[in-house]
Amino acid sequence: MSWLTLTADTDAQHAEALSEALLELGALSVDLLDADADTPDEQAIFGEPGEPPPGVWQHNRISALFEPDTDVATILAAAAQQIGLAQPPQYRVEPLDDHDWVRLTQSQFDPIPISERLWIVPTWHTPSNPDAINIALDPGLAFGTGSHPTTRLCLRWLDSHLQGGESVLDYGCGSGILAIAALKLGATSAEGVDVDPQAIIASRDNATANGVPQARFFLPDNAPSAQYDVVVANILTNPLRLLAPLLAHATKTGGRIVLSGILDSQAQEVMGIYAQWFTLNPPVFEDGWTCLSGVRR
């Protein structure tokens, strides 16, 4: 049996209302995505500590799932009329074959070698190298499984530079993977901060599952005011711009910062911002993404 998927782009003003109308009219599920994802116009859903996040992007992509044989065009037209749009947005409808979704999802995630001694291993796999540092991590609701270049870049930096005994802050911790890796690589303490409550839950669960329950994770308003030997922030360029003073203050004099989630084309701009506080190393690139690092003056 084939399901039907509707894809339509809309603006921030109508995205949530159109999504809700589609659900009311028969959509089985609706997701909102950034229509500019993986482009220089990618927009972080981000709020300053103490402020609510914006909630939707300026350019939104709606993805809705329908039963087979549904008249999707008629439903979209009715949803648009219901929320006051003169005409429905441009769209496409495609079939989606039925699968064993659990097996299909698992088949897409194999163990990921970060270095000779560091691996990310989904829990349904046996570690390829039992003697390596194997971080057990499954795809979930929070970003950071090791499959994205920005995560790999940060993990490689930690693997190459941690000497043991450091205090580490992972700002924008997602799944907690960087804080967990830091502890397994010899850091004395690791703390993570994220604006998403689900990320905090996922990070704590992942830390416990990996035998490092001493890792601590906080929402921004509850985060301790402290300075660290190493500060890692794998987020996006927009929040990195806004967070520069905060991240600089969180880094000890002589401490090191690691930044990723930055497109190659944005590297020089971010370096210009952080050069106020840090002596920066040459950027490292992978698959269109950048990792920056430096020492706090």
> Structural domain boundaries of the chain?
2-98, 146-296
146-296 falls under which CATH superfamily? Vaccinia Virus protein VP39 (3.40.50.150)
Among 55-64, 256-265, 275-284, 285-294, where is mean pLDDT lowest? Answer: 55-64
Tokens 């990996």 sit on residue: 210
- Give the fold, CATH level 3, of 2-98: Alpha-Beta Plaits (3.30.70)
User: DSSP class of residue 34?
Assistant: E
Q: Is the pLDDT of residue 37 over 90?
A: no
**Plot region of 150 (φ>0 → left; ψ -120 to 50 → alpha; else → beta):** alpha
Tokens 């924008």 sit on residue: 172
State mean pLDDT over 31-46: 67
Beta carbons of 200 and 176 less than 8 angstroms apart:
no
Please, what is the Cα angle at 152 between 147 and 154, to 5 degrees? 140
Among 66-75, 82-91, 101-110, 195-204, where is mean pLDDT lowest? Answer: 101-110
Buried/exposed 36-75: b ≥16 CB within 10 Å, e otherwise? eeeeeebbbbbeeeeeeeeebbebbbbebbbeeebebeeb
Q: Name the nearest CA neighbour of 156 among 125, 199, 198, 113.
A: 113
Confidence band for 33, pLDDT divided at 50, 70 and 90: confident
- pLDDT tens digits, one per residue of 144-162: 667 789 999 999 999 999 9
Helix (H, G, I), strand (E, B) or coil at 260: strand
State mean pLDDT over 200-225: 95
pLDDT at position 46 is 46
State mean pLDDT over 260-289: 96
Q: Who has greater pLDDT, 137 or 88?
A: 88
Among 127-141, 160-174, 238-252, where is mean pLDDT lowest? Answer: 127-141
Distance in angstroms (rounded) separating the CA atoms of residues 164 and 176:
19
pLDDT at position 38 is 61
- pLDDT tens digits, one per residue of 231-249: 999 998 999 999 999 999 9
Confidence band for 34, pLDDT divided at 50, 70 and 90: confident
pLDDT at position 224 is 94
State mean pLDDT over 267-287: 97
Confidence band for 290, pLDDT divided at 50, 70 and 90: very high
Q: How much is the mean pLDDT over the chain?
A: 87
Distance in angstroms (rounded) separating the CA atoms of residues 59 and 37:
10
- How buried is 245 (Cβ within 10 angstroms: 0-12 exposed, 13-18 middle, 19+ buried)? exposed
pTM of the full predicted structure? 0.67
